[in-house]
Amino acid sequence: MNELPFYRYRASSKDIYEVSDVIEAYSRKEAINRLKKLDLTPIEVEQLRFAFLYKDLELSLGSKISRKDLVFFLSQLSKLLHAGVGVMESFRIIVEQTTNKNLQKVLLKILHSLRNGTSLYLSMLEHRKVFPNLLVEMIRIGEATGELTPVIDDLETYYTKQTKTSNEIRSAMLYPIVLLVVTVAVTIFLMIVVVPQFQKTFESAGQELPMITKFVLEVSAFFKTSGLLVGLGLAAVAVLINMYKKTEKGHRFFSKFALKVPIFGNINKNGNIIRLSRSLATLINNSVNAIESIQITRNIITNDVYQDVLDKSLYNIQNGIPISAAFSDQWAVDPVFARMLSIGEETATLGEMMNSLAEYYDREMDSQVERLKTLLEPLMIIFLALIVGTIVLSIMIPMYGLMDSGYGM
């Protein structure tokens, strides 16, 4: 089947003075007609000769919106709705304010759908590859209940806090990696550049070298002769691991590994519990029943272990088991979580309790990240000092021997 040709266009809009983008169509005439249906007045439309080079432009419109842009969008929409501005006018203003071209194009298409009488939910559903499932579902609930503004407020709070959680996890993972990279870089520099300079001196002196010096010289020689092969081998292993992670079996393995790896496992576990709790709280607080809330949350969670937790809990609830009991006896769920859910059920404050759980585990994760940094910083510095100290010592010992023997004088 032949792919449709691409047409690059410039067009004027009622909302933005000029729009530039790429569109697929069977012919230039059809491209112009499609633009007119979008309330755009074509200024220039020309076919692209090498359409395959522009596939990335098409894909960019189908990629997920960044968390930063999502929070900006929800924050602006919330402020405008609270100010009494209508949904359609709010979108028009946000389109003008945003600097992200891809987001701007998507919002403009949603605005055109709204102008044609389509509901906000259905307009955003057309771009479900761009917006998260939770957001689209919550928009549906907000429109159905006539409580769109509070829903947008909840979504802004949810994604703002989720951004903070994700940044904390990333920071916890990135910090030791940066220290390790610095350590490896310094070691390679010393072994490849510094040590060989002294090796020539030691060889010309013909002096018996200490064991530590022989070891360092052998490691240095290995780096020089086989370092590139080792680097390529490690790169190949990294590529294979990444390919394996993309398989169903690999994704499941690494989902479990991320929760059990020493030091980082608890941070990852708390991150998933926070995401799960906040999602359920946002849905339940907006009158979504427990079963539907779990089903929606299940599609948001990316860790296979917690998807299984939600699947099992959903099955238990559908068979008449209380929510707190449904989450019990699962190794990935902390006993505190189940006990707090039980209190929420008994007091009919399940949504509020979910929020409290998210805040509790958020504080726990903050403490874990700080403890991790406090622990790792001195350990990595000591590790770096040991490596550098060993190399320096291996050079200084024979150098003092040469000085005592009067070599070079």
pLDDT (tens digit per residue) in 279-301: 898 888 888 888 989 998 888 88
The domain total for the chain is 3
Look at residue 83 in the predicted model and tell me its pLDDT. Answer: 92
Q: Does 225 lie in the same domain as 79?
A: no
Task: Look at residue 331 and tell me if it is in a domain.
Answer: yes
Task: Look at residue 126 and tell me if it is in a domain.
Answer: yes
Q: Does 164 lie in the same domain as 236?
A: yes
Look at residue 184 in the predicted model and tell me its pLDDT. Answer: 83
220: nearest Cα among 194, 244, 241 = 194
Look at residue 50 in the predicted model and tell me its pLDDT. Answer: 53
Compute the distance between CA of residue 159 and CA of residue 134 in angstroms, rounded to an integer: 10
Q: Does 274 lie in the same domain as 152?
A: yes
- In sign, the C-alpha dihedral spanning 73, 76, 79, 82 is negative
Task: Look at residue 92 and tell me if it is in a domain.
Answer: yes
pLDDT tens digits for range 317-335: 999 888 888 888 788 888 8
Q: Does 166 lie in the same domain as 229?
A: yes
Task: Look at residue 370 and tell me if it is in a domain.
Answer: yes
Q: Does 261 lie in the same domain as 114?
A: no
Structure tokens at 185: 């870089």
17: domain range? 6-60
The DSSP line for 268-281 is: HHHHHHHHHHHHHH
Position 2 pLDDT exceeds 60: no
Q: Does 169 lie in the same domain as 115?
A: no
Q: Does 176 lie in the same domain as 315?
A: yes
Task: Look at residue 141 and tell me if it is in a domain.
Answer: no
Position 4 pLDDT exceeds 70: no
Compute the distance between CA of residue 278 and CA of residue 158 in angstroms, rounded to an integer: 7
Q: Does 299 lie in the same domain as 402?
A: yes
Domain boundary among 60, 79, 102: 60
Q: Does 204 lie in the same domain as 121?
A: no
Decide: helix, strand or coil at residue 17. Answer: coil
Q: Does 297 lie in the same domain as 184?
A: yes
The model's pTM is 0.68
Q: Does 123 lie in the same domain as 207?
A: no
Q: Does 374 lie in the same domain as 265?
A: yes
Task: Look at residue 39 and tell me if it is in a domain.
Answer: yes
Is residue 7 a contact partner of residue 28, using CB atoms and an 8 Å limit?
yes
Task: Look at residue 103 and tell me if it is in a domain.
Answer: yes
pLDDT tens digits for range 193-234: 888 877 777 777 667 778 888 888 888 888 888 878 888 998
Length of the chain: 409
Task: Look at residue 136 and tell me if it is in a domain.
Answer: no
14 phi and psi, to 5 degrees? Answer: -70, -25
Domain boundary among 131, 164, 187: 131
Under the phi-then-psi rule, with left for phi > 0, alpha for psi from -120 to 50, and beta for the rest, what region is 408? left
Domain boundary among 84, 103, 131: 131
Count CA atoms closer than 13 A to 131's CA, side-chain side: 25
